[in-house]
């Protein structure tokens, strides 16, 4: 109990949160629910995206090769770190393409209007559940070229100005983290974490389907919110000699 | 009484709703028992819901199961738009969601990732038969987040605390994501039949929060 004591020393996030409770800003219960939110909203969603990214990379060896070549050409042997991720546009495009095709929360977290509201000429009765089909916005063939193809190049070519952002000059066809007040604040952690792990794996290994299989199964399975890969992939990691 | 529910079924997934939008337009309303569902499938209308009319549409719908898992909206993600949400968002932003936090922790992320690479290189089976990579990445992500949150980490996939934490969280996800409870949510007079399901949720949530509290939060006080 008295591990941290009266002079509450602040090092990790929980220390800040407990400090806010000690100042009377939030209750002890709120502290618990912050931990609950991080456990489900931050960890699981990012894990689904990693599984999708790896599955697509196994099925698209050329994409792996291009990421590897980019890292080699740009960083000339130094490791990929958070501070040099922005120098690797093809890697970033691969992450965006994964989130576009396999939006982990395809209908975003549902919204609700406390009062009756108007939308596109319709009356939305109060307390309706309102969902934005973010997956469809990013996969509608009217707005995207061959949307069912996994092709990171699109984000360097015809979609080079389309960014994964939650504010500012947003392209409303691409909202993997939502946008505005209720958008996912975790974007600031998720994008670099996804970029770094893909870079680490691709620079160290050739990722291939297990013996006897050509491709990895990328069928999807959904729940009330989530979109994950139906069967967790088995992947062979062949070390690349440094 | 049932509205469109019997016609559209339980699994209102993104693909089904996308194909419905081609028939019913960029915004349409479904009546699911006593509840309304509005589906938006157009960038301009998405802009209105999320941005221009962001305050009006800024709340979260409640349902019987999420009420249990959020303590009736005492969290941030699922609470209604208002003072409580604003305060929670502010308090969570400082220690989790700033560039300063990213700079402070990115080295520890990279360490956790290097450990994954070491493990994969050390295991002969990985380069012949392959492995289900999810499990190792799950340990990595828990360690990334638990180091940021509690300055704590798990030793391995067999670490009893890791086994506990992942079991609690996956059970919570399963119960919250299931379509099983829709009937009692959409049709209030069927709710008594949900009692067993809701008790299971309550029991899990109680044990799970006690786990977070006893093993992690109290240690930081």
Residue A9 banded pLDDT, cuts 50, 70, 90:
confident
Task: Give the residue ranges of chain B where pLDDT is below 70.
Answer: 1-2, 5-10
pLDDT score recorded for residue B7? 67
Residue A5 banded pLDDT, cuts 50, 70, 90:
low
CA distances from B53 to A117, A119, B48 (A): 9, 9, 5
Backbone angles phi, psi at B82, to 5 degrees: 165, -165
In a domain, A1, yes or no: no
Task: Give yes or no for residue A6 having a pLDDT over 90.
Answer: no
Backbone angles phi, psi at A235, to 5 degrees: -130, 140
Retrieve residue B111's tokens. Answer: 């360490």
Retrieve residue B68's tokens. Answer: 């249990």
At which residue do the structure tokens 């209102």 appear? Answer: B12
pLDDT digit string, tens, across residues A165-183: 998 889 999 999 999 999 9
Q: Which of A4-8, A99-103, B17-21 has the lowest mean pLDDT?
A: A4-8
In a domain, A93, yes or no: yes
In a domain, A119, yes or no: yes
User: pTM score, two decimals?
Assistant: 0.95
Query: Nearest-CA distance from A234 to chain B in Å?
Result: 4
Residues A231-241: b if buried by 16+ CB within 10 A, e if exposed? eebbbbbeeee
Average pLDDT over residues A151-168: 94
- What CATH number does the domain containing A118 carry? 1.10.630.10
What whole-number distance in Å separates Cα of residue B24 and Cα of residue B28? 6
Cβ-nearest to A196 among B38, B91, B109: B109
Residue A2 banded pLDDT, cuts 50, 70, 90:
very low
Please report the number of interchain residue pairs, chain A to chain B, with beta-carbon separation below 8 angstroms: 344
Determine contact, residues B17/A136, Cβ cutoff 8 Å: yes
Which residues from chain A sit within 8 angstroms of residue B48, using beta carbons? 119-120
In a domain, A11, yes or no: no
Average pLDDT over residues A104-129: 96
pLDDT score recorded for residue A90? 98
Query: Nearest-CA distance from A153 to chain B in Å?
Result: 23
Question: DSSP class of residue B194?
Answer: G
Q: Does A76 touch chain B (CB under 8 A)?
A: no
3-state SS assignment for residue B26: coil
A129–B61: do the CB atoms touch at under 8 Å?
A: yes
Q: Answer with the residue of higher pLDDT: A6 or B151.
A: B151
Retrieve residue A140's tokens. Answer: 């509608």
Long-range contacts of A15-20 (CB under 8 A, 24+ apart): A15/B95, A15/B220, A16/B91, A16/B94, A16/B95, A17/B91, A17/B92, A17/B95, A18/B217, A18/B220, A18/B221, A20/B91
pLDDT digit string, tens, across residues B168-191: 999 999 999 888 888 878 888 888
Determine contact, residues B96/A189, Cβ cutoff 8 Å: yes
Q: Identify the domain containing residue A163 by its residue range.
A: 21-239
3-state SS assignment for residue A172: coil
Task: Give yes or no for residue A58 having a pLDDT over 60.
Answer: yes
Number of domains in chain A: 1
pLDDT score recorded for residue B142? 98
Residue A1 banded pLDDT, cuts 50, 70, 90:
very low
In a domain, A8, yes or no: no
pLDDT score recorded for residue B178? 84
């Amino acid at each position: 109990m008295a591990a941290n004591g009266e002079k509450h020393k602040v090092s990790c996030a929980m220390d800040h949160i407990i400090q806010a409770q000690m100042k009377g800003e939030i209750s002890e219960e709120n502290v618990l629910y912050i931990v609950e939110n991080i456990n489900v909203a931050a960890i699981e969603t990012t894990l689904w995206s990693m599984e999708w990214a790896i599955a697509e990379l196994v099925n698209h060896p050329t994409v792996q090769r291009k990421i590897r070549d980019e890292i080699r050409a740009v960083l000339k042997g130094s490791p990929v770190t958070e501070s040099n991720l922005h120098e690797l546009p093809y890697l970033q495009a691969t992450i965006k393409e994964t989130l576009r095709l396999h939006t982990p929360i395809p209908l975003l977290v549902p919204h609700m209007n406390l009062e009756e509201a108007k939308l596109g000429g319709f009356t939305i009765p109060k307390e309706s559940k309102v969902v934005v089909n973010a997956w469809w916005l990013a996969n509608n063939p009217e707005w995207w070229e061959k949307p069912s193809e996994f092709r990171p190049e699109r984000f360097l070519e015809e979609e080079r100005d389309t960014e994964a952002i939650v504010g500012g000059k947003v392209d409303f066809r691409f909202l993997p983290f939502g946008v505005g007040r209720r958008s996912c604040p975790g974007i600031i952690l998720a994008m670099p974490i996804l970029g770094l792990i893909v870079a680490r794996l691709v620079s160290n290994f050739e990722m291939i389907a297990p013996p006897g299989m050509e491709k990895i199964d990328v069928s999807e399975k959904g729940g009330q919110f989530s979109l994950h890969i139906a069967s967790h992939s088995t992947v062979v990691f062949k070390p690349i000699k440094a | 009484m049932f509205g469109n529910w019997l016609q559209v079924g339980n699994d209102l997934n993104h693909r089904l709703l996308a194909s419905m939008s081609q028939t019913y337009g960029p915004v349409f309303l479904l009546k699911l028992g006593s509840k309304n569902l509005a589906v938006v499938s157009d960038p301009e209308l998405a802009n209105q819901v999320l941005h221009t009319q962001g305050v009006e549409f800024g709340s979260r719908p409640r349902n019987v199961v999420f009420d249990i898992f959020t303590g009736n909206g005492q969290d941030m993600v699922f609470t209604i738009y208002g003072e409580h949400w604003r305060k929670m968002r502010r308090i969570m932003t400082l220690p989790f969601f700033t560039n300063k936090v990213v700079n402070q922790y990115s080295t520890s992320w990279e360490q956790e990732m290097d450990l994954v690479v070491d493990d994969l290189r050390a295991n002969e089976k990985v380069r012949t038969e392959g492995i289900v990579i999810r499990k190792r990445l799950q340990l990595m992500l828990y360690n990334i987040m638990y180091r940021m949150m509690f300055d704590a980490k798990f030793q391995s996939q067999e670490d009893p605390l890791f086994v506990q934490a992942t079991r609690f969280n996956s059970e919570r996800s399963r119960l919250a994501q299931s379509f099983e409870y829709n009937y009692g949510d959409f049709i209030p007079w069927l709710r008594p039949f949900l009692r067993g399901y809701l008790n299971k949720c309550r029991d899990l949530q109680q044990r799970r929060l006690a786990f977070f509290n006893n093993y992690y939060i109290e240690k930081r006080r």
